[in-house]
Amino acid sequence: MSLKAKSLAGAFFNLSANGFAQIVNFVVYAIMARILEVEAFGLVAICLMVVEFCNLFVTVGISQNLIQRKDWDNQFASLSFWVLMGVSGAIATLIFVVAVPIAWYTYSELAAQLIAALAIVPIANGFRLVHKAKLERNFENKKLAVYDTIGVLIGGIVSVVTALDGFGAWAIIFGKIVQAVVSTVLTCVRSDFKPEKVTDKSHLPEIITFAKPLIAMSFVNFFSQKASNIIIAFFLGASTFAFASVARQGVSVINNLTFQPLNRIALAGLSRVSTDNLSHTFGRMVGMTAIFVSPVYFGVGAIAHPFVELVFGDKWTTSAYLLSILAIMAPTQVMAYYLPNLLISRGMPHQAFKLNMINLVVNMALPLMAVPWGLYGVIVALVIANYITLFLKFALVKKHLGIGIKDALANTWMFSMASVVMYGVVLYLERFNIYGLDNIFVNIAALVVTGAAIYAGILLLFFRRKSFKVMAELKRSKSQKAVKKKVPPQESGTAER
């Protein structure tokens, strides 16, 4: 199989595993939300966020270096393995020494116990990463997809079973630990990498130098994305955080199933475009994204109340209001999502890092100032922060690449406007129960059909030419990919070499 075919197959299996994991995790999340009390659910969410932060030290940098190196050196890989084990051991120690006492005095004894139990997750991830990198270098992504899927599935089953047996907050913790351990064991057993005793430590500076900027960027991304969550958890407590967590879960699922797959191909596509065509290509990308993602964002926000009641239960009504507010961020998500890759594709990683810093500062400052107004104040401030950062980000991109916010608006405003109208109408129909339907399944179906008809109708009546143009471009992109897949390896060998 050619290198290109292997890459395509690897991407397919990664996306398939990610999609399946998202579905399983969402189902487990919904079941846990129904079974657990609000405060217990929020407490677990806070603990998982703490461990997610600690994982950054382990999961970023070293494995990427192993994958991108020209040749596999088992001594270098072994050194990387022992460095990871040392780092993961240090992280576990810090969790016990720092995070556990803070949780004990800030929240409760249960919170401290949950975080202490989760300390095994960074160790499991550290043990797995070099073995995983070896499989990825060999394009054995199908195996990794299977191992990840098995881990997610078994961990989910453990969580549900133990929750039904009355283990409460511990059910989610058990599931996460089992998921990490199962995925690690399967990966390590099937990988042909075996760590050796290291005699040469001369590569240590390379490992540290490569990992440092990636970890720094991951830190900024983490805090910019979790800024409102951190503020809510610290100032407003576990119960309030639980409502925000459920609302953000709806947004997270949309992002994972729409933006992430698109973003995987964005960098490769933008990197191969000449500077003269960059603005046009970027406009096409945001246009093709907006026509589908904008109505999904606004649509979920419009039917948030019956959706949250059906999936999570009626005790999460507050989360439905929050989800309706968060949906208003849709235009900012569509227009700004590809900007980091746009800069990176032109060899400007430092400018891409500045975009993350803009996110971090504004997303932290505004919600922090809104704390006196409670949970709704913080969420509204987050939405406003996203619109402010949109203008700031495009000002930076305009300075370096000549692509401004007008270029993005020219290709997305019609889809955003149609989505907003749909959002307003469907939200009105749902809130005032215009249809008068008692069956929640029928009610959601009627609202979805109404929303789809309104959105499609507006596009056909007022923006037919632009909509057909975007659809034609999307169809042409798919046709081009299909043609490339049919090209025999010998005809494309020069490009691959």
* Domain stop point among 140, 174, 194: 194
Whether 219 maps to a domain, the answer reads no
- Total domains, the chain: 2
Q: Do 107 and 245 fall within a single domain?
A: no
Does 485 or 172 have the greater pLDDT score? 172
pLDDT higher than threshold 80 for residue 132: yes
> At which of 178, 194, 210 does a domain end?
194
Flag the least confident range among 69-83, 249-263, 389-403: 249-263
Each residue's pLDDT tens digit, 307-329:
999 999 889 999 999 999 999 99
Q: Are residues 156 and 288 in the same domain?
A: no
Q: What DSSP character marks residue 259?
A: H
CB atoms within 10 A of CB 70: 5
To the question of pTM greater than 0.85 for the whole model, the response is no
How far is CA 356 from each of CA 27, 190, 339, 375, 435, rounded to the nearest angstrom? 31, 37, 10, 24, 44
Examine the pLDDT at 295 and tell me if it is beyond 80.
yes
User: How confident is the model over 12-30, as pLDDT tens digits?
Assistant: 455 555 666 777 778 888 8
104 touches 43 (CB < 8 A)? no
The single residue listed with the structure tokens 């891409």 is: 352
395 and 448 co-located in one domain: yes
406 and 472 belong to one structural domain: yes
Distance of alpha carbon 295 from alpha carbon 67, whole angstroms: 38
Residue 496 lies in a domain: no
Q: Are residues 152 and 253 in the same domain?
A: no
Domain assignment present for residue 368? The answer is: yes
Domain boundary among 194, 211, 246: 194
Same domain, 314 and 406: yes
Displacement of CA 265 from its chain's centroid (Å) = 15
> Do residues 28 and 137 both lie within one domain?
yes
pLDDT higher than 80, residue 55: no
What letter does residue 195 receive in the DSSP assignment? -
What confidence category does residue 2 fall into, taking pLDDT thresholds of 50, 70 and 90? very low
Residues 189 and 231 in one domain: no
Q: In angstroms, rounded to a whole number, what is the distance separating the alpha carbons of residues 180 and 172?
A: 12
Same-domain check for residues 149 and 274: no
Per the structure, the complete domain to which residue 342 belongs is given by 225-486
What is the tens place of the pLDDT at every residue in 431-454?
999 999 989 999 999 999 999 999
Do residue 47 and residue 94 come from a single domain? yes
User: Residues 403-434: pLDDT tens digits?
Assistant: 999 999 999 999 999 999 999 999 999 999 99
Q: Is 206 part of any domain? A: no
Same domain, 115 and 172: yes
Average pLDDT over residues 242-256: 84
Q: Average pLDDT of 331-349?
A: 84
- DSSP tag of 169: T
Q: Which amino acid is at 179?
A: Q
Amino acid at 258: T
| Poorest-pLDDT segment among 94-98, 127-131, 243-247, 471-475 | 471-475
- Confidence band of 484 (pLDDT split at 50, 70, 90): very low
The predicted structure's pLDDT at residue 491: 41
pLDDT at site 397: 93
Question: What pLDDT shows up at residue 202?
Answer: 78
Mean predicted lDDT score pLDDT of the chain: 83
Whether residue 204 is contained in a domain is answered as no
6 within some domain: no
Mean pLDDT of 267-277: 68
Please check whether residue 15 lies inside any domain of the structure. no
Looking at residue 403, its amino acid is: I
Same domain membership, residue 158 and residue 119:
yes
The pLDDT, as a whole number, for residue 18 is: 60
Estimate the crossing angle of helix 349-369 against helix 204-236, to 10 degrees.
Answer: 20
Q: What is the pLDDT of residues 56-84, one digit of tens each?
A: 777 666 766 776 667 777 888 888 888 88
Q: Is 207 inside any structural domain?
A: no
Say which residue, 26 or 118, is predicted with more confidence: 118
